[in-house]
Amino acid sequence: MLDNDEFRLETSPRELTQNPLRKIWMPCRNGHIAHRRVCMTNCPTIIVTVGLPARGKTYISKKLTRYLNWIGVPTKEFNVGQYRRECLKIYKSFEFFRPDNEEGLKIRRQCATSALNDVRQYLSVEGGQVAVFDATNTTRERRGTIVKFAEQSGFKVFFVESVCEDPDVIAQNIVQVKLGSPDYIHCDTEKAIEDFMKRIKCYESSYQPLDEVLDRDLSYIKIMDVGRRYLVNLVMDHIQSRIVYYLMNIHITPRSIYLCRHGESDLNIKGRIGGDSGLSARGREFAKSLGEFLQDQNIKDLKVWTSQMKRTIQTAESLGVPYEQWKSLNEINAGVCEEMMYEEIQEHFPLEFALRDQDKYRYRYPKGESYEDLVQRLEPVIMELERQENVLVVCHQAVMRCLLAYFLDKTADELPYLKCPLHTVLKLTPMAYGCKVESVYLGVDSVNTHRDRPERM
């Protein structure tokens, strides 16, 4: 037990010092930064999918995991089907999933338990904040087991149920996703479809959907017919509300997203970062070529977005189409380093220069921003991109890196070094579990503004 002097020492206000990398204030004692006493508002959360096979549960799981990691919430997906494949090695037929197959039921329970044990390890030991438990979880008994496990472990649970009765959507999901599964890798297409339809039948007899009355004490979102309707119940915290908001914005309509930087600017030629300069002669030539490229593509109902900076607006003006300006798309704010060359930053601010190379994602320019800040600023853009169909975003190098990292599922460490050259259009086409990328160089020379990752000391 602490005596009064020790108690006063422990509770007395500590001095503050500014973390040089992230420019945030932290308590210190005797000149050393103290370990922060972390107070988490949200305890770890398990997102649990619910639904029959071929209802898009894994699609939802992967998108949610990618989104939460991108906004800085450590998240990992646990696909029970993958545990089953590692256990069985060879899949024979739908017979394994029959409700009267005792051996199959035993193996599936073991796989679910193994996955839940890994969830506990991730959330309790490895520092994870959200675990996505991707399985059918079609019975109230199974869901009750998961809730009990979560309560004993100190985790919250949020269910995500996908209900779909549209045979065309189900058939499309089977062809696009399930036929590429390891279960059917050496199987004839027609036989694979027939087997998978029988697998669905094995679950239908015991399926108990989330019920407004029986499950009124559970936190969940029910997504009906791929987002035509939603039912949301008992959202408990900030993380759950963000999950709901995100899931209510995504869709599966085929579309493409085009990303490019503005045309080369006058400051690009001078090797200076930031600023608000106009286009160079080659930049104007690129803007003209971009307009011709879009005409050739003949993209249906294309929307064009720019930042509020001169060089992106000048680029869009040459396209001859309406465009929308977003302040959120403005380039990263380099603070006191705006319009400086990297050599000048190294000369005048050697410590800042070294700190940025040390952790480029979290480094914040004095009186400016970090890539981490930029991701938070761009979240509304991502939400709207998920809602839209065909969009061209004319933006900046750091901004394009952040957007690209979201769609390509890149880590915070990889994000600041993604190559986004001038005068090149990236066409992103969302696929079942990822994104197809096509790079189109429009043939106009420009300076190279990419700075490679420094070699580790």
Q: Distance (Å, rounded) from C-alpha 42 to C-alpha 156?
A: 9
Q: Distance (Å, rounded) from C-alpha 432 to C-alpha 449?
A: 33
Q: Distance (Å, rounded) from C-alpha 257 to C-alpha 293?
A: 14
Extract the tokens encoding 199. 């697998």
Residue with tokens 């100190």: 154
In contact, 162 and 210? CB cutoff 8 Å: no
Q: Distance (Å, rounded) from C-alpha 399 to C-alpha 405?
A: 10
Q: Distance (Å, rounded) from C-alpha 430 to C-alpha 385?
A: 12
**Antiparallel, parallel or unpaired: β 229-233 and 220-224:** antiparallel
Residue-wise DSSP of 279-306:
B-HHHHHHHHHHHHHHHHHT-TT-EEEE
Q: Which residues are catalytic?
A: 134, 164, 262, 331
Q: Distance (Å, rounded) from C-alpha 409 to C-alpha 39?
A: 29
Extract the tokens encoding 174. 């089977």
Q: Distance (Å, rounded) from C-alpha 17 to C-alpha 33?
A: 7
